[in-house]
Amino acid sequence: MAKYLIVGGVAGGAGTAARLRRRDEKAEIIMFERGEYISYANCGLPYYAGDVITERSRLFVMTPERFMESLNVEARVLSEVKAINRKAKTITVLDLKKNTEYEERYDTLILSPGASPVRPPIPGIDHPSIMSLRSVSDIDKIKEKVDSPNVKRAVVVGGGFIGLEMAENLKERGLEVSVVEALEQVMNIIDYDLAADVQQHLRAKGVALFLKDGVASFEHHGSIVSVRLASGTLIDAELVILSIGVRPDTAFLKDSGIALAKNGAIKVDEYFTTNDKDIRAVGDAIEFASPLTKVAVTVPLAGPANKQARLCADAIIDGNKKPYTGTIATSIAKIFDMTVASTGLTEKGLKQANLPFRSATTHAGNHAGYYPNTKQLTLKILYHPQSGKIWGAQAVGYDGVDKRIDVISAFIGKEGTVYDLAEFEQAYAPPFSSAKDPVNMVGFIAINTIELLSDTIDWQEAQQLKREGAFMLDVRSAEEYELGAIQGSVNIAHTELRNRLSEIPKDRVIVINCAMGLRGYLAERILRQNGYTQVKNLSGGFKSYDKAVREKELLEHRGQASIKEESAYIDNRNEDGSFRKRTENKISKIDACGLQCPGPIIRLKKEIDNLEQGDRIVMKASDPGFGIDVQSWCKLTGNELISVTTTEGVIEAVVEKGSPDICKMPSSAGEKPAICSTDNGATLIVFSNDLDKALASFVLANGAAASGKKVTMFFTFWGLSVLRKKNTPPVKKDFMGKMFGMMLPKGMEKLSLSSMNMGGMGSAMMKSRMKKKHVDQVHQMFEDAKKVGVKMVACQMSMDIMGIKKEELVDGIEIGGVATYMADASESKVNLFI
């Protein structure tokens, strides 16, 4: 009868014990656990502190009694293994209840002692309010503190997943929470551009972030700990959680002769055997070669520990048949409403391993955009630039993040490539996914680079090329550009590109950006096929760039109030924590969820026009760009943004109507919004009677008007058709006038697409798609344009030539000549010909 001893009674230890029993009914199995409990849910501990898990007993998956009852495994708790005597094949155990030591013999010894939190020798770290979290007894102490009415402030040192889970749970319990992180980003398992999203979310939830600022010392003032940072900042708290990493808990192996790595990790082969064939090890305490880099790593995660336990028991029973292939460190965390997940290598890991890589990023909906409650997610993959082998993936979002990362993890595990991602067949119906899932999309983007259809760059490369003098081309619409753009970029919407190629230099590197990357790719294809060779498309578009750059700026200018206001999300409290002035005026609530950009901004403009100074609008929108757009819009228009918060992907902005006299105030009263500028106009010449071009004109005009611009649309030649009434009254015309009258479309309802019209099918499809996507039809846009004050002028000269009479045109139109147009154009910064 074999005798198995196991050190450690939680994930790896209990798992090995259970599998050993299932494979060998006769063996004697004893498990030693230093603590009071075995097989508890360490991953659930933060949620117990946050009162999400309300019953303490739910933390215990097993008890020693149940272990014995169901598995016939003896679990000796409060029993610390102090040494291994390999020659005698015994272990020395300290019975912590009796404080006596004894020896226990083994045939095979399995080590799963886990990893313990790092506590560096920082001055003052011994204060009882500075706690670490690993076990149930740790969380009991933490919870006792949190439950105490005297504990109001907490500092979490370390922005990894345990630190942030604790920050969330402490915040949910009503504490004021600060997170201190020595690196320049939180969640080192993802890259900076995605971490930027998490950081903005944390701030939006009221967590104060101190990045790139390590703890220099802890100062004690009775029950209060003052955390002094390297920058000199001092943060007072009644509770400090230290969460700055873990180290293999292997001090007891020091004199055992078992081979350990520099960090104390136990070295094992693919059957978990140490340098002693009768001693095996699993879990957080071992190091094993990464299947991706072939470099030995320690990965302190529960999934690998549990799987290793099963394989280890099988290797003992079967005699080393199924080798372990290593872990790619797939992990996930909930940070308030957000989900953050990653698998495989990050950019940092790839650089350290000196492996060639490229990235592809998509910002997509978790399911079909037209189906309600779409939430945005950002998915990024890293892959080999030539073979397309997937190195890693990371995602941040609100729903469906786990699914995408799990799928890609499976492909990485099987050494898959980006071609596998492109072909991946998902279970699709609108509430669950899209016909082209984000996983497919990142595959497509990557394949385009491998097949040299596209050359993507990330936000840092874009910054570098900009510094080196690249031509920065922004191909979004004018109103998107107006709401924020890369400094120095030139705006030519991708739809205009073919007609404006002469404005783009051929002898410079062209860096294209759109909002998310897709239109940038379309523009890149146009340029490449027109002889441009040095063209780069910004991966993830302005959205990725802007978030990362804002975070960097915030970091560089920390402490400066002006930059603080630039942050993506602001809350409605003053520096001292008090709430900003409350208004007695009217408060209107608007739900613009489901509207796409610039729909929410237009809606906001419409509503605010009906309010008095000091009235407020509380507006909800699901368009993820709204959080940033509303800030720019308020700046442009002189309205005050009181707060912006997000909950489960829905952005809520509170905007207070500004003074109507803001432009009349003296300059000494402060900077005036752009709306006061005398050349604050935009003119559009609408020359075409194509449905798509008419739509584009109204989108641009309405967006510009919503941003406070004085907009004139000048309809000339075929563009006059847009203004024709559906049922034209009988009017007297000459022969040519009658001919034109018959040939021209009768009004906006009858316009056709400029291409792919397919006898009207294309136009019908476009209208139905717009309806599904909640985009207004052209007649609605026309009505909106009137409401937001767009001036629409029909060209007198064209009307004369084409025999069109005033009575044939819709109401609310001015008839004017070139002089009217020129007068307005001279006051415009933007002048478009469509």
Helices (H) and strands (E) in the chain, counts: 24, 40
Q: Which residues pair with 690 in a beta bridge?
A: 752
Query: In angstroms, what is the minimal distance from the CB of 297 to ligand FAD?
Result: 13
Least CB distance to ligand FAD at residue 111 (A): 9
Dihedral angle over CA of 382, 546, 341, 56, nearest 10: 160
Cα 309 from chain centroid?
Answer: 34
Taking the least distance from each CB to ligand FAD, the nearer of 20 and 162 is 162
d(CA 139, CA 44): 10
Pair of tokens at residue 594: 């489901």
Minimum distance from residue 143 beta carbon to ligand FAD (Å): 13
Q: What count of Cα atoms within 13 Å lies in the side-chain half-sphere of residue 701? A: 30
Using the minimum distance from each CB to ligand FAD, give the nearer residue, 303 or 614.
Answer: 303
What tokens does 517 get?
A: 């990357």
Judge contact between 297 and 262, C-beta under 8 A.
Answer: no
Residue nearest ligand FAD by beta-carbon distance: 283
CA 35 to chain centre: 38
CA–CA separation, 722 vs 690, rounded Å? 9
Q: What is the DSSP string of 761-779?
A: HHHHHHHHHHHHTTPPPHH
Beta carbon nearer to ligand FAD, 93 or 592: 93
If the CB atoms of residues 35 and 673 are measured against ligand FAD, the closer one turns out to be: 35
> DSSP string of 580-603?
PPPP-S-EEEEE-TTPPTTHHHHH
Closest to ligand FAD by CB, 40 vs 698, is 40
Q: What H or E segment, with its residue span, contains residue 379? A: strand 376-383
Q: Which is nearer to ligand FAD, 138 or 551 (CB)?
A: 138
Q: How far is the CB of 76 from ligand FAD (least distance, A)?
A: 9
Q: How far is the CB of 348 from ligand FAD (least distance, A)?
A: 20
Catalytic residue among 43, 597, 663, 676: 43
Q: Using CA of residue 785, residue 787, residue 791, residue 795, what is the dihedral sign?
A: positive
Peptide bond into 598 cis (omega under 30): yes
Closer to ligand FAD at the Cβ: 15 or 540?
15
Nearer to ligand FAD, 13 or 719 (CB): 13
CA dihedral (687, 690, 695, 701) in degrees, to 10, reads 0
Q: Kindly state the smallest distance separating residue 670's Cβ from ligand FAD, in Å.
A: 49
Pair type for strands 130-132 and 239-242: parallel
Beta bridge partners of 646: 651
Q: Rounded CA gap, 313 and 311, in Å?
A: 6
d(CA 571, CA 171): 15
Q: Tell me the closest approach of the beta carbon of residue 302 to ligand FAD, in angstroms.
A: 4
b/e code 249-287 from CB counts within 10 Å (16+ = b): bbebbeebebebeeebbbbbeebbbbeeeebbbbbbbbb
Q: In 519-531, which positions are buried (b, 16+ CB within 10 angstroms) versus exposed (e)?
A: bbbebbbbbbeee
Site of interaction with ligand FAD (CB under 6 A) = 7-13, 32-35, 42-43, 45-46, 80-81, 112-114, 133-134, 162, 249, 252, 283-285, 300-303, 305, 331
Min CB(407)–ligand FAD separation in Å: 18
**What phi and psi values does residue 143 have, to the nearest 5 degrees?**
-65, -40
Please, what is the end-to-end C-alpha distance for the chain in angstroms? 87
Q: Name the residue nearer to ligand FAD (CB basis): 130 or 834.
A: 130
Residue 43 is among the residues annotated as catalytic for this protein? yes
Among the residues of 468-517, which ranges form H helices?
478-482
Give the shortest CB-368-to-ligand FAD separation in angstroms: 30
**In this complex, which beta carbon is closest to ligand FAD, that of residue 35 or of residue 625?**
35
Vertex 186 angle, CA 183 and 192, to 5°: 85
CA 304 from centre of chain = 26
Spatial separation of the C-alpha atoms in residues 517 and 514, rounded to whole Å: 6
Q: Mapping DSSP to helix (H, G, I), strand (E, B) and coil, where does residue 422 land?
A: helix
Burial zone of 54 (CB within 10 Å; 0-12 exposed, 13-18 middle, 19+ buried) = exposed
Q: Which is nearer to ligand FAD, 56 or 589 (CB)?
A: 56
Q: How far is the CB of 480 from ligand FAD (least distance, A)?
A: 39
Q: How far is the CB of 251 from ligand FAD (least distance, A)?
A: 8
What is the closest distance, in whole angstroms, from the C-beta atom of residue 589 to ligand FAD in the complex? 37
Distance of CA 704 to the CA centre of its chain: 28
Those residues with Cβ within 8 angstroms of residue 520's Cβ, 6 or more apart along the chain or in another chain: 475, 494, 512, 513, 514, 537, 538, 541
Q: Which of 148, 150, 120, 114 is nearest to 132 (CA)?
A: 120
Beta bridge partners of 83: 92
Dihedral over Cα of 596, 601, 606, 608: its sign: positive
Of 331 and 378, the one with the shorter C-beta distance to ligand FAD is 331
Active site residues: 43
